[in-house]
Amino acid sequence: MRRMTARPANAHQARLLRLLRDGGPNSRAQLGDQVDLSRSKLAVEVDRLLETDLVVADGLAASRGGRRSHNIRLNPHLRFLGVDIGATSVDVAVTNAELEILGHINQPMDVREGPVAVFEQVLAMAAKLKASGLAEGFDGAGIGVPGPVRFPEGIPVAPPIMPGWDGFPVREALSQDLGCPVMVDNDVNLMAMGEQHAGVARTVADFLCVKIGTGIGCGIVVGGEVYRGTTGSAGDIGHIQAVPDGRPCACGNRGCLEAHFSGAALARDAMEAAEQRLSAELAGRLEANGTLSAVDVAAAAAAGDATALDLIREGGNRTGQVIAGLVSFFNPGLVVIGGGVTGLGHTLLAAIRTQVYRGSLPLATGNLPIVLGELGPTAGVIGAARLISDHLFSPA
Amino acid sequence: MRRMTARPANAHQARLLRLLRDGGPNSRAQLGDQVDLSRSKLAVEVDRLLETDLVVADGLAASRGGRRSHNIRLNPHLRFLGVDIGATSVDVAVTNAELEILGHINQPMDVREGPVAVFEQVLAMAAKLKASGLAEGFDGAGIGVPGPVRFPEGIPVAPPIMPGWDGFPVREALSQDLGCPVMVDNDVNLMAMGEQHAGVARTVADFLCVKIGTGIGCGIVVGGEVYRGTTGSAGDIGHIQAVPDGRPCACGNRGCLEAHFSGAALARDAMEAAEQRLSAELAGRLEANGTLSAVDVAAAAAAGDATALDLIREGGNRTGQVIAGLVSFFNPGLVVIGGGVTGLGHTLLAAIRTQVYRGSLPLATGNLPIVLGELGPTAGVIGAARLISDHLFSPA
DNA sequence: ACTCCTTTGTCCTGTGAGTGGAAAAAGTAG
DNA sequence: CTACTTTTTCCACTCACAGGACAAAGGAGT
C-alpha cells in the first residue's frame, strides 16, 4: 500500500480525525452530535475525508430508533511508529491510527553510544516489526529522547546524559530514513501525553507527570497541552536542590534530587548497603548478579527487606518534598508518578503522598489525586504516537 | 455621559479594540497592516465599531507619502477602575481605555476588617476620584485581592490572610455597587498582567512574576495568558519549604519561605536585631517609631548598615533558592521581582540572581533575565484595568 | 402486511461573510 | 501643473454554511 500523505484541509476535518482517533469508529450521526456543524456541512467534510483515504466506510451502525447510520473509521491501514529512547533501553512500537499498540519491542541500549548507533538499532527494530507483518510502512513517527529538545526543529539541546546528541538533527535524519513525517520530544513529555491519551489523566486539563527512571523529570500539561518552556527544558526537576549541602551531582551542584533519588542513585545506595552488610537480601543479590539495580531493590522490598524499604521511603520523602513545592506553585489537578521505578510501587507512592499532603496547603491538595501511571512502559510509545498524530491531524 | 455597554460583536472587532488599547490611536491603514483583513472587511468592522461609540474618529494621521489617513481611537470618555487590595493598604486608580493612569490613590487599610468595611473604603476612594473630575462613571473595574480566587465567579476561596472573605461574592457585590462589569483576580496575577502590559514583560510569552510584600506569591504567565491552576491557587509559593525544620509558620508547617522572608518576617527580624543591639541604625529607628517595617530595613541598608544588609542578603538567598527550583521546573523567559520590598533593590536582586544562576542548569538560566518590576505600586492597578479590558474587549 | 413515527442522508436554495479589482479622493515630490 | 503614492469607497463575485424539504431506511404497534 502507498503511504498516506493527505492532511486535513481545515480545522473541521482535523477535529473529525481526532474524534475518530480518540473515540474509534463512529457513525456520521454520532459525529454530528459532537461537532456542532450542520448536517450538510458535516456530510461534505466527511465525504472529502473519504476521498483522501484517511477515513473509510465501515458498515452500518446499530439503529438508534430509526434508519441505521453508516459507520466511519480511520483507515485501518494507517500505521504510526512510537519510539521511546531511554538512558539504557529503547522501546519501539507500532500503532494503528487509533493509537492502539499492535506490536511492541524493548531492547537494552546505551544512549551514550550516540545518535548514529542508536538510530541504527531503532531502524532495525522498526524493520523487525514491519517484517512481522504489522505494518507495510509508517505514516508518521514520534520519537522521545531523554533530554531537552528544541521542539519545532526536533533537535536535542545540551542534553546532560546524552553527550554527542547536542544539535543532532533527529527529526530531519529520521524523517529521511523512515520516509515519513517525524516529531521529536522529551521522553517525559511523551509519557505525559500517553497517560493523557490512554491512561489516568484522560479527563484532567492541568497535571504533572513525574517520571523517575535513570534520572527524574516532570511533564507539565497546561490546559491539555504540553508546556515545554522557553528553551524546551521545562520539567527538568532532577536538579532542584532537595538536600542542602547534600551529595555532589554530575551537574556540579550538591544536593540535587537526582543525586539522592533516581534509578542510578538507588542502585548505588543499594550496593553500598549490601557491601556494608546492612541487608542480607541485597547482599545475596549482589553476590548472585555482581551488581544491583532498582529492580533488585524493588524485589528486596517486596520480600520485606527493611533496608530496601528504608531506601525507598527515604527517596520517596525527598521526591515528595520537591513535588510538594511544585504542587504549591502549579496547583495541578492530578499528579502521576511513572517511570522505571514504579516497580517500587506503593511504598514509594505512600512516602510521596505523605510529604505532599503535609507540605502543601489544603486548597492545593484538597482534591488532588497522586497516582501511579496506568500504562507502565507503553506510556512513552503511546505518547509518541499521539505526538505525531496530533501533528498530522491538524490543518496543513 | 451614559456609560458604554457595547461589546465587540466578533473576534475581529475584539482584535481591533485590543490593538487600539495597546497601540493608542491608529490610522485605518496602520490597523490594516496589523490584522490581515481585506480593506473592505476592515472598513466594515471599523464602521460598526464607530457606531457602537466604543471608538471615535480622531482627525487625520500624518501622511505616509500619499493621501492622509483618518485616525481612529478608543473613546476617550471610557474609564476603567483598577483596585489593588493588599494586606495593609489599598490602591485605587482610574484609567482611560488605553490603560493610562489618570488618577491614583493609596490608603492604608487592613484586609482583616472584612469585605464590607474594605469595599466601603474602596467605593469612597472611587467616589473621590470621580469627584475630582477624572471620570463621570466607570465602564468596568478590575479588583485584585491578596489570596486565591475562584476566577470565573470572582470569589475568594480559603484565603489564609483574609479571614471573613472566604466565599464572599466580590464580583457580584461590586458589580452591583459600581454599576459596571467587574472581574476579580489574585493581586499577584494582576501585577504580572501589569508588567506584561506596560512593564518589563511586554515581549515575553512565558514568565514568572514574584511579588514579595506582606507575603510572597508568584504570577505565572504561560503563552501570554495568566495560569491560575485547578483551584485558583497556582503561584502560592510562600509556603514552599525553604528551610528544613525552619521557623514555624502560620500555616502550621515549619520552614516556609514566607516565615523566613517577607515584609512581615523582615520586620520581625529587624526588631529582634534592634533589641539585641546588633545594629545601632535599626535600634535608633525602633526608638524613634516604636516599631519597624521593611521600609526601615531598606533605609538602614541604604545607609550602609551591615545588619540590615545581612538580613536582606539572607532573605534574598532563601528566595533565590526557591526561585531556582521554579526556574528549573518552569523554564521561564523572564523573572520579574516586585512588590513592597523592591525598595530593598539591588542588594536583594543580587542575592536572588546568585542563587538562581548557581542553582539551575545553564540551559534554563543561559538567557534568563532576572529583573525588578518597572511599574512599582502601579503594576497592580494597571493589571486590574487590563483584566477588565481583556474581558470587555472580547467577543460577547 | 400495513401504517405511523423516528432517524438518517441528500439536495437545494438563500444568506451573509469576505475577497479583490477598479476607481475616486487626497496627498507628496518635483 | 504633472506624475506618482497612499487611502478610501464601491461593487461584483466567490464561497462557506445553515436550514428546510424530501427521500430513504428502519422500528413498533395493529
* Segment A371-383 mean pLDDT: 96
What CA dihedral angle connects A155, A157, A159 and A162, to 10 degrees?
A: 40
* Segment A349-371 mean pLDDT: 95
pLDDT tier at A1 (50, 70, 90 boundaries)? low
Closest Cα in chain A, distance from residue B314 (Å): 15
Residue A2 has pLDDT above 70, yes or no: no
Measuring CA to CA, which residue among A330, A363, A150, A373 is closest to residue A222? A330
CA of B146 to C1' of C6 (A): 57
Eight-state DSSP code of residue A4: P
Sheet order of strands, B335-338 included? B225-226, B216-222, B207-212, B335-338, B370-372
* Segment B238-242 mean pLDDT: 94
Nearest residue to nucleotide C7 when comparing alpha carbons to its C1'? A66
Report CB contact under 8 Å: B230, A326: no
Q: Among the listed ranges A356-370, B38-52, B78-92, B93-107, which one has the minimum average pLDDT value?
A: B38-52
Phi, psi at A67, each rounded to 5°:
-60, 140
What CA dihedral angle connects A378, A384, A386 and A387, to 10 degrees?
A: 160
Q: Among the listed ranges A1-5, A45-49, B387-391, which one has the minimum average pLDDT value?
A: A1-5
More confident residue, A319 or A163: A319
Residue A69 has pLDDT above 80, yes or no: yes
Query: Measuring from the CA of residue B63 to each C1', which nucleotide is nearest?
Result: C27
Measuring CA to CA, which residue among A385, A376, A393, A339 is closest to residue A143? A385
Average pLDDT of the residues of chain A = 93
Cα distance between residue B160 and residue A360, in whole Å: 13
Q: What are the residues with a C-beta under 7 Å from any atom of nucleic chain D?
A: A 10, 12, 37-41, 60, 63, 65-68; B 27-30, 39-40, 43, 64-70
Helix (H) or strand (E) holding A247: none
Give the CA angle between residues B160, B355, B340 to the nearest 5°.
Answer: 40
pLDDT in tens, A316-333: 999 999 999 999 999 999
Strand C closer than 7 Å to the CB of B63? yes
Work out the burial of residue A369: count CB atoms within 10 Å of its CB; fewer than 13 is exposed, 13-18 middle, 19 or more buried. middle
Strand partners, B72: B26, B57
Eight-state DSSP code of residue A126: H
pLDDT for res B267: 87
Q: Which amino acid does the sequence have at B274?
A: A
pLDDT for res B332: 98
Question: Cell numbers of A306, please?
Answer: 527493611
Cα distance between residue A301 and residue A282, in whole Å: 10
pLDDT for res B270: 86
Measuring CA to CA, which residue among A241, A271, A237, A236 is closest to residue A253? A241
More confident residue, A62 or B56: B56
Residue of B234, B239, B324 with shortest CB distance to A330: B234
Cα distance between residue A372 and residue A369, in whole Å: 10
Question: Cell numbers of B190, please?
Answer: 494582576
Residues B262 and B238: beta-carbon distance below 8 Å: yes
Highest mean pLDDT among A277-291, B56-70, B233-247, B265-279: B233-247
Report CB contact under 8 Å: B227, A222: yes
Residues B360 and B328: beta-carbon distance below 8 Å: yes
Question: Cell numbers of A166, please?
Answer: 547536542
| pTM greater than 0.85 | yes
* Segment A121-149 mean pLDDT: 96
Closest Cα in chain A, distance from residue B360 (Å): 7
pLDDT in tens, B315-367: 999 999 999 999 999 999 999 999 877 677 789 999 999 999 999 999 999 99
Cα distance between residue A205 and residue B180, in whole Å: 32
Residue B15 has pLDDT above 70, yes or no: yes
Question: Cell numbers of A180, please?
Answer: 515519513
* Segment A91-101 mean pLDDT: 97
pLDDT for res A8: 92
Report CB contact under 8 Å: A218, B157: no
Sheet order of strands, B101-108 included? B101-108, B89-95, B80-85, B140-145, B182-186
* Segment A112-140 mean pLDDT: 96
pLDDT in tens, B252-278: 889 999 999 988 888 888 888 888 878
DSSP labels, A317-357: HHHHHHHHHHHHHH--S-EEEESGGGGGHHHHHHHHHHHHH
Cα distance between residue B223 and residue A160, in whole Å: 27
Cα distance between residue B111 and residue B88, in whole Å: 6
Query: Measuring from the CA of residue B38 to each C1', which nucleotide is nearest?
Result: C19
Residues of A in contact with B251 (CB under 8 A): 361
Cα distance between residue B139 and residue B96, in whole Å: 10
pLDDT for res B1: 56
Residues A391 and A2: beta-carbon distance below 8 Å: no
Q: Beta strands of A61-123 (E only): which ranges? A: 70-74, 80-85, 89-95, 101-108
